[in-house]
Amino acid sequence: MPEPEVDTRRREIAGVLTGEFQSPSPDQVLENVLENVLLFLTSRRDRNAVSLVCKSWYRAEALTRSDLFIGNCYAVSPRRAIERFRRVRSVVLKGKPRFADFNLMPPNWGAYFTPWVTAMATSYPWLEKVYLKRMFVTDRDLELLAQSFPAFKELVLVCCDGFGTSGLAGIASKCRQLRVLDLIEDEVTDDEVDWISCFPESGTCLESLIFDCIECPINFEALERLVARSPSLRKLRLNRYVSIGQLYRLMIRAPQLTHLGSGSFSSSDIVAQGDQEPDYISAFAACKSLVCLSGFREIIPDYLPAIYPVCANLTSLNFSYANINTEQLKSVICHCHKLQIFWVLDSVCDEGLQAVAATCKELRELRVFPIDAREDSEGPVSEVGLQAISEGCRKLQSILYFCQRMTNAAVIAMSKNCPDLVVFRLCIMGRHRPDHITGEPMDEGFGAIVMNCKKLTRLAISGLLTDKAFSYIGKYGKLVRTLSVAFAGDSDMGLKYVLEGCPKLQKLEIRDSPFGDAALRSGLHHYYNMRFLWMSSCRLSRQGCEEIARAMPGLVVEVIRNENEEDKDGFEILYMYRSLERPRIDAPEFVTIL
């Protein structure tokens, strides 16, 4: 299928031959020059700015944009996007709001990929990359994708659901140019299809194959052969059905790997004592380019020493599925001087985090997940671990920390020791829990974070919090774009402070906090600048939401009921977002669009 520009050229040449050719106007020349320059402009924010200069620049920019980013799939329709941007090679689409991950959104809410893939199939024949987050993707969608785009190279699905192994089989067999197939935290149904065997029998161009979220066995022999015929493979993340013995067999075939997800990292039940186990240590030692290690889904800690040879080179280590204790962590972390990204379970305790602080001076991102994710669980990490990290890891930019006990002092210390913080997410798992030493609310701690961390763009707060905390956020959080609030605040003032004080606020998600209609009204001046607002189990009334919908026609205001809710006027969730379109028609029965 010829590209549009080929037709234009043909016409120009025809014009020259018949003597009808006229020299292009200065405007046309300028536009041609601009197009060529804009090819180099990749940042979408810069491009958005360019498109606002004048109509000519708008057109040039639209013709040269190859990467389409749509942060909310309902903000714009496929047709409108395709009409404006005609030469797209890569599409990013995001669907459900983040709180849907925690079962707060009833299923079948929406975010269907189908209308998008259907429209793109005919309009973007040269499409190479699709990245979807929190979208509902069916096997038929994947089939259509595989059939429609001969140059297709990269498919990345994050937190998606609706498809199964039969959809993957279609991708594997039909996308002959496939370089990247990354399935990250998706829910993939087991259709009992051997999708691994569906990749082309001759060599593949695979560079990245990530399937650690797939909860069903795969054909290991087929995988082994696939790895053997994929010389460009650099990233491989296995699921928990791959044993350590099988991992060994793959590693010796692919020593060029840079990213490895190690699967279960355990052996099958019957292990003969005295039997020769493979030399795991030399398999790891042979992977001289390995910089990112994850997996360990069912780890037998006895095997941990196998990874010692690669620790010194690791920049990213994900132990967040590895149930290991302090000593076991220490034995590994002491080698990891270059580590920048570290995910771990709180089973390593404060002492484990102290060891991290002592060694990982280059740490940029830390995530500490709870092994027992309930409000009243033991909580092996506390302010002690947080304090240690703040003192040892001065370059920290991003932290996610689950705990049961915290103090303002430790949070304040982090705000001072880690000035580069961009993301600060603290989850004190017990609701309304104060500083466990002083008994005070956690206001001062979070206040210090917004005050001292001048680059902060993302914040998640927890613990006992009064309106004061929100006043700090409104006063100092001038760069905050994403804010997550749960079980916090005293009155409408809390939400008002934030809506009036944070000019950069894009994504606001609030649950179980005492904010009502008056607070909602205070954001009218800002809602068109935001991607979305989520409020669930707050003090909103239907009339309050209707008022907003009337005042702001460019907003889609959804009120979402519990499926079991008898009262047709009652609702659990307010989800509202700006949109260029009329309200969607694919909403289920329990969603009312005002």
Partner 1 sequence: MEKPVVYDNGLNLEATELRLGLPGTNEPEKQSSTSVRSKKRASPEMAEETRSKSSSCISDADDDAPPPKAQVVGWPPVRSYRKNSFQQRKGEAEGAGMYVKVSMDGAPYLRKIDLKVYKSYPELLNALENMFKFRIGEYSEREGYNGSDYTPAYEDKDGDWMLVGDVPWEMFISSCKRLRIMKGSE
Q: Which residues bind partner 1 (CB under 8 A)?
A: 99, 101-104, 185, 187, 213, 269-274, 297-299, 320-321, 323, 327, 369-377, 402, 427, 429-431, 484, 486-487, 511-512, 537, 562
Q: How far is the CB of 95 from partner 1 (least distance, A)?
A: 16
Q: Which is nearer to partner 1, 162 or 309 (CB)?
A: 162
CB 403 within 8 A of CB 382: yes
Q: Which is nearer to partner 1, 125 or 570 (CB)?
A: 570
Q: Which is nearer to partner 1, 114 or 325 (CB)?
A: 325
**First and final C-alpha spacing in the chain:** 44
Token couple for 575: 């989800």
Q: Which is nearer to partner 1, 132 or 428 (CB)?
A: 428
Surface-to-core class of residue 45, CB atoms within 10 Å of its CB (0-12 exposed, 13-18 middle, 19+ buried) = exposed
Q: How far is the CB of 419 from partner 1 (least distance, A)?
A: 27
CB 482 within 8 A of CB 459: yes
Alpha-carbon distance of 489 to 513, in angstroms, equals 6
For residue 363, what are the contacts with CB-CB under 8 A and spacing of at least 6?
A: 339, 340, 341, 342, 356, 389, 393, 395, 396
Residue 464: count of CB within 10 angstroms of its CB: 19
Q: How far is the CB of 15 from partner 1 (least distance, A)?
A: 60
Q: How far is the CB of 403 from partner 1 (least distance, A)?
A: 10
| One-letter amino acid of 476 | Y
Q: Which is nearer to partner 1, 290 or 344 (CB)?
A: 344
CB 346 within 8 A of CB 371: yes
CB-based burial, 427-439: b 16+ in 10 Å, e otherwise: bbbbeebbbbeee
Any idea how long the chain is? Answer: 594
Going by the DSSP 8-state scheme, the letter that residue 322 receives in this structure is: -
Give CA separation, 68 vs 64, 92, 94, in Å.
11, 6, 12
Residue 24: count of CB within 10 angstroms of its CB: 12
Q: How far is the CB of 349 from partner 1 (least distance, A)?
A: 12
Alpha-carbon distance of 48 to 136, in angstroms, equals 28
Q: How far is the CB of 30 from partner 1 (least distance, A)?
A: 51
Q: Which is nearer to partner 1, 83 or 187 (CB)?
A: 187
Give CA separation, 270 vs 216, 266, 277, in Å.
21, 11, 13
Which of left, alpha, beta for 432 (phi over 0: left; psi -120 to 50: alpha)?
left
Alpha-carbon distance of 57 to 430, in angstroms, equals 53
Q: Which is nearer to partner 1, 42 or 562 (CB)?
A: 562
Q: How far is the CB of 255 from partner 1 (least distance, A)?
A: 29
Going by the DSSP 8-state scheme, the letter that residue 131 receives in this structure is: E
Alpha-carbon distance of 298 to 77, in angstroms, equals 43
Token couple for 514: 């005492």
Q: Which is nearer to partner 1, 321 or 446 (CB)?
A: 321
For residue 189, what are the contacts with CB-CB under 8 A and spacing of at least 6?
A: 163, 164, 165
Residue 102 CA, chain-centre distance (Å), reads: 14
Give CA separation, 81 vs 87, 119, 549, 578, in Å.
11, 10, 24, 15
Q: How far is the CB of 185 from partner 1 (least distance, A)?
A: 6
Q: Which is nearer to partner 1, 61 or 350 (CB)?
A: 350
Q: How far is the CB of 523 from partner 1 (least distance, A)?
A: 23
Q: Which is nearer to partner 1, 215 or 586 (CB)?
A: 215
| Bridge pairing between strands 90-94 and 154-158 | unpaired
Q: Which is nearer to partner 1, 68 or 349 (CB)?
A: 349
Q: Which is nearer to partner 1, 227 or 461 (CB)?
A: 461
Q: How far is the CB of 475 from partner 1 (least distance, A)?
A: 26
Q: How far is the CB of 354 from partner 1 (least distance, A)?
A: 19
Q: How far is the CB of 8 from partner 1 (least distance, A)?
A: 49
Q: Which is nearer to partner 1, 299 or 353 (CB)?
A: 299
Q: How far is the CB of 108 from partner 1 (least distance, A)?
A: 17
Q: Which is nearer to partner 1, 23 or 103 (CB)?
A: 103
Q: How far is the CB of 240 from partner 1 (least distance, A)?
A: 9
Alpha-carbon distance of 548 to 247, in angstroms, equals 56
